Homo-oligomer: A and B are copies of this chain.
Amino acid sequence: MIAEILATGDEIRSGALVDSNSAYISQKIEEVGVEVSRHISVGDDLDILASTFKEISNRAQIAVVTGGLGPTSDDLSAQAAASAMGVELVLDEEALKSMEAFFIKRNLPMGVSNKKQAFLPVGSRIIHNPLGTAPGFYIKINKCSFFFLPGVPFEMKTMLKNTVLLKINELLGDNRQTCIVKTISTFGITESAAGERLAGLTDLFPDIKLGFRSKFPVIQIKLYLYGKDEEKLNTKMKAVEPYVLEKFGKKVFSVNDTSLEAVVGELLRSKGLTLAIAESCTGGLVSHLITNQPGSSDYFLFSGVTYSNKSKINLLGVSEKTLEKYGAVHEETAKEMAQGARRIAGASHGIATTGIAGPGGGTEDKPVGTICIGMATPDGVKGYTYNFPFPKRSMNKIIFAMKAIDLLRLELQKAL
């Protein structure tokens, strides 16, 4: 069974908006065992939409269409589907009631233009939208089952999960498969190096489909297993996981989708520890990442972003001598910053960053990309120096901040 994905809308066609829906839908559809062969985007044009639907219906058995379900005159998906099939639009009472309920629940008046959204092609069935006004629908055009969803990502995702994936499973019938996905998240390795380490995997485990997902600087290794017997798949996956973990060792920070910040947060919380941060070159990013975690106030106490030497001395208690002798970008300074933050906040752990994010400020000794990290713990203080080769300030800030958080993870895991 082959699927295609169509993202509609002039804002996507013209490039005003990057279409991230299609990638999301592809992943989810491939996870239920259907191959996605093509993504298409076209604009808000009735004839083009109708002919694109026909074209897809001759190639694929499943199509997921996003966008064009809103109340305005630009929203043409239902009309184009009706036109492609040579049928009329009719008022769908179920869709109308569901929309009315949406507005009543929120104590809002329903606009006249909203009623348009309840007109669906004859023969279609509604896909409920619990989070917005635009109902979706599904219908067969030629031999292809079309699923029409709104373009708003969080509405689309909910409807895909609640309805579309279940319907696709029904369509698969005896070909239905379960997909087991294992996500192993790593820090400190490039995608190509990760690929090399796993070069032998599919020889040993020929059923495994291997994928990578990169969200700089994290590389996620995705292992997919398809089959009919979920228990057998789980057993097989359990055999593969140790192989992968052995290849990456301490670079693995989670064996699910948990972020590095969440892993560190959970380590701190479960051990009853607290964190203080002193940042120079990362400019607040370490604490921004740490506090992205809901409930981080349980363990995060304080961060001081000290750009100037003066603020390093006055606020963190870094000694003038250290700064004179070694300069601001040095392990010794980082160590004193970490100790200062830890002391000021009364935290169990302190981490500190000082380095050169660029574009300016690099020297031969300390080029752009140099980062010194200090780690103060109840057992003492340590310093680290690294050099990263990235050309952009924004990339350097991220890799510096994530490296500091990862060192803290390793520190906390040691004591496990």
Chain A residues in contact with chain B, CB under 8 A? Answer: 11-20, 22-28, 30, 36-43, 48, 211-214, 222, 277, 279, 282-288, 290-292, 294-297, 300-308, 310-311, 314-315, 344-346, 358-360, 393-394, 397
Asked if residues A213 and B16 are in contact (CB atoms below 8 Å), the reply is yes
Report if A292-B297 is in contact (Cβ < 8 Å); known contacts: A30-B14, A30-B15, A42-B38: no
Q: Roughly how many angstroms separate A375 CA and B296 CA in the complex, as a whole number?
A: 26
Q: For A300, what are the chain B residues with a Cβ–Cβ distance below 8 Å? A: 283, 307
Q: Can you pick out 28 interface pairs between chain A and chain B where the beta carbons lie within 8 Å of each other? A: A12-B23, A12-B39, A13-B26, A13-B36, A13-B38, A14-B211, A15-B22, A16-B27, A16-B211, A17-B213, A17-B214, A19-B22, A37-B42, A38-B41, A38-B42, A39-B39, A39-B40, A282-B288, A283-B292, A284-B284, A284-B286, A294-B360, A294-B393, A300-B307, A301-B308, A302-B305, A302-B307, A303-B304
**Residue on B with the closest CB to A211?**
B16
Number of copies of this kind of chain in the complex: 2
Q: Which residues of B contact A305 (CB under 8 A)?
A: 277, 284, 287, 291, 302-305
Minimum CB–CB distance from A357 to chain B (whole Å) comes to 8
User: With the chains together, A16 CA to B28 CA distance in Å?
Assistant: 11
Interfacial chain B residues near A211, Cβ < 8 Å: 14, 16
In the complex, which residues of chain B have a beta carbon less than 8 angstroms from the beta carbon of A345? Answer: 311
